[in-house]
Amino acid sequence: MTVAVPRPTTAALPRVVGSALRVPLVTGELVEYANLDHAASAPCLEQVRDAVDELLPWYASVHRGAGFASQVSTRVYEQARAAVRRFLGARSTDAVVFTRNATDALNLLARSLPRHTAVVLFDTEHHAALLPWRGPHVRRLRTPSSPAAAVPELDRALREAPVGPRLVVVTGASNVTGELWPVAELARVARRHGARIALDAAQLAPHRPVDVRALGVDYAVLSGHKLYAPFGSGALVGRGDWLQAAEPYLVGGGATSRVTDHGDRLGVAWAAVPERHEAGTPNVVGVHALAVACDVLGRHWEQTAAHERALLARLREGLRTVPGVHELALFEGDRDRVGVVSFTVGGQDAGYLAAALSAEHGIGVRDGAFCAHVAVHRLTGDRRALRASLGLGTTEEHVDRLVAALRGLVTEGSRWSYEQRDGRWAPCDDRRALPPFLR
């Protein structure tokens, strides 16, 4: 298939681990894996892997260790805060609290809100941004018809919000459609009403620069596993006063500055932010991996954006040639987006198609509702969808293989038999061997 779209660039693109991975098909062949599931978890950058390998001989528990390895690990851990702050364009006074992922970071922020804080958000957020906020002062707004229409909608909601502390929660790029939200414009509205604003940058940060100061947001969260650093680390970055006033998210070693025995009770003086919310032995390796990924991506935005724009255009143009494909969109019209495309295919079951794409073509896509059930069910009429998401490991061949495979499944059907097991489609008589480390 020939599609008249821009050519992706490979010049100076960061390389990912597993770019030459070959996977077995149910038909017996081995093919290069087409990873079109970057929005769920991105592969590891080679620079990140190398940095982790370099650190591991020096790995030790951080803080309060007299040993030289502990001092090295402590330096690595604390320097990572500067890398994340630099990557997000955060203020020098902003706290950088390391968490497990963006979900953990948003839950930490939710636990740190002053009492009776009014929270306003749009209802098609990812569950990580939708669910942590509880209580009578949470207002969920329906997604408007356009990014521009979101601005007056938020303005009206804040005019009606109770007096007192207020927080607006916004997503940078939709987890479902990749469409961009007008973060800077929404932040200006929030400030005009004396509200703070938190940005879920998990899906945006791997694709576009995020500048906390330029956008005017008070908090930002991200996940390492979406940033090509899949070692279990994320971050909450932003104003420290609410975090400092809140009880620790977790209690234990590291979160305390002093514990005293008063007989019938313990006296506890909590540490200051960020240690206040980092109880337990921290994930030094994951934090270092996140910092390295931030530095690498920050040096390659122009090449990354050009690569993804070309592949996204190729993918969307190709999907238009497949009978029955309906692309999902939150907003009317064709809006700016990152490399994420969700769609349905006529009367085809999304789970069945995903299983066939994997088993017969070596293609990895996501099916379901993508932890954004409200958005997907509203856009599909309560159906599951398919999501293809691009990244640094994606090639033209991967995109073309997906389009050709979908067309073949729709017009000719699958070449293999499938059955449902525990609610998931799987190939019958699947004899593909697992990799040796799993045998």
Q: Establish whether domains 22-44+301-438 and 47-298 are of one fold.
A: no
Residue 439: what pLDDT? 79
State both tokens at 424: 């998931």
Asked whether 392 and 206 are in contact (CB, 8 A), the reply is: no
Prediction pTM value: 0.95
Could you confirm whether 371 is annotated as catalytic?
A: yes
Asked whether the predicted pLDDT for residue 243 surpasses 60, the reply is: yes
Q: Taking Cα atoms as reference points, which of 224, 198, 359, 242 lies closest to residue 285?
A: 224
Q: What average pLDDT score do residues 52-74 get?
A: 94
- For the chain, which residues make up each domain, given as ranges? 22-44+301-438, 47-298
The topology (CATH level 3) of 47-298 is Aspartate Aminotransferase; domain 2 (3.40.640)
Residue tagged active-site, from 44, 294, 371, 428: 371
Asked whether the predicted pLDDT for residue 8 surpasses 60, the reply is: no
State both tokens at 436: 């040796």
Residue 2: what pLDDT? 39
Kindly write down the DSSP assignment for every residue of 300-358, as one continuous string: -HHHHHHHHHHHHHHHHHHHTTSTTEEE--SSSS---B-SEEEEEETT--HHHHHHHHH
Asked whether the predicted pLDDT for residue 3 surpasses 70, the reply is: no
CATH superfamily of 22-44+301-438: Aspartate Aminotransferase, domain 1 (3.90.1150.10)
Residue 223: what pLDDT? 98
Asked whether 123 and 168 are in contact (CB, 8 A), the reply is: no
Q: What is the CA radius of gyration of the chain?
A: 23
Calculate the alpha carbon distances from 125 to 75, 130, 370 in Å.
36, 5, 11
CA atoms within 13 A on the CB side of 211: 5
Query: Model confidence over 101-154: pLDDT tens digits?
Result: 999 999 999 999 999 999 999 998 899 999 999 888 999 999 999 999 999 999
Q: Rounded distance, CA 142 to CA 124, Å?
A: 7
